[in-house]
Structure formats: structure tokens, C-alpha cells
């Protein structure tokens, strides 16, 4: 298992503590049925690599955590609550030692104009280092 998968799984494990959300299996590409909303999906966005450090490589992995919600009322309130739930759960700056530093770097909101659906996407950056042979 790579460090990327270890970090993704650590995020997924922390988020599983949230009640009231559906969690599709990691890495799934299946469509989420609206009866399973709200749902939270964790995935990779990008990974930047840095200079060699003592034979290893410094890395910055961006993970996206998307919360999909449905609301007949204020959709922004539902999205804001989902973002707050995720942020309050992911407070450990090292994800229990799975990386050197884990911080929120961006939050984006999107609405489906035809349906009472919305998505809040939080991007977290995980910094870690790998040995030359550990990819």
C-alpha cells in the first residue's frame, strides 16, 4: 500500500465517525443514488513533488473531500453544515501520524440549478516524504 492510499484511508476512517452521512467505498466510480444523500466521497486531486531530501522526496498530496447534499430549504445552510462537520472531524494536523502535516487549503461550493442538490468540496493538503524506493 502506498503512502497516498494510507493517507486517503486515514481520512476515510476519521470521517466514518460522522453520523448521518453515506460513505461509498473508496475509489468507487458508481453514481450515488439521491436516497443515499447526504454522502461524503474522498479522493485524490493532485500531488506535487519537491527536491530530494536525504535520499527521499518531499510530496504534497491534495485530497478532495466532497459532501453531496439534498435540501428542500436553504441549500447553502446544508452545504455549510456539511463543511463544518468535515472540518471539525479532521482536526489532527498529522492524521494520527500518517503524514507530516495535514491542512485545509480550499473550500468550493456548487449547486445543481435544476434540482435541490449541492456539493461542497474541501481540498486538504497532506505533506509527507518518501524514500527513493517507496512510491
Number of domains in the chain: 1
Q: Which residues contact 90 (CB under 8 A, 6 or more apart)?
A: 11, 14, 15, 65, 102, 104, 124
Note the pTM of the prediction, 2 decimals: 0.89
Whose grid coordinates read 470521517?
15
Closest CA to 83 of 127, 116, 123, 43: 123
Going by pLDDT thresholds of 50, 70 and 90, the confidence category of residue 112 is confident
Going by pLDDT thresholds of 50, 70 and 90, the confidence category of residue 53 is low
Sheet with 39-53: list strands edge to edge.
39-53, 56-70, 117-130, 101-112
- Give the whole-number percent of the chain exceeding pLDDT 70: 94
pLDDT at residue 32, as a whole number: 87
Residue 119 domain flag:
yes
Phi, psi (rounded to 5 degrees) for 83: -60, -45
Taking the mean position of all CA atoms in its chain, how far away is CA 12?
A: 8
Question: Which CATH number do you get for residue 87?
Answer: 3.30.70.1700
Domain of 14?
Answer: 3-26+35-130
pLDDT at 56 over 90: no
Residue 13 domain flag:
yes
Residue 135 domain flag:
no
Closest CA to 128 of 20, 42, 6, 28: 6
Amino acid at each position: 500500500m502506498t503512502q497516498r492510499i494510507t493517507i486517503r484511508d486515514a481520512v476515510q476512517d476519521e470521517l466514518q465517525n460522522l453520523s448521518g452521512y453515506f460513505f461509498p467505498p473508496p475509489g468507487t466510480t458508481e453514481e450515488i443514488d439521491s436516497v443515499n444523500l447526504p454522502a461524503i466521497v474522498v479522493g485524490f486531486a493532485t500531488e506535487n513533488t519537491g527536491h530530494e531530501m536525504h535520499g527521499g522526496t518531499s510530496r504534497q498530496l491534495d485530497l478532495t473531500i466532497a459532501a453531496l447534499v439534498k435540501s428542500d430549504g436553504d441549500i447553502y445552510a446544508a452545504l455549510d453544515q456539511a463543511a463544518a462537520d468535515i472540518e471539525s472531524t479532521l482536526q489532527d494536523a498529522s492524521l494520527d501520524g500518517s503524514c507530516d502535516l495535514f491542512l485545509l487549503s480550499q473550500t468550493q461550493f456548487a449547486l445543481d440549478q435544476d434540482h435541490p442538490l449541492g456539493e461542497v468540496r474541501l481540498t486538504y493538503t497532506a505533506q509527507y516524504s518518501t524514500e527513493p524506493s517507496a512510491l
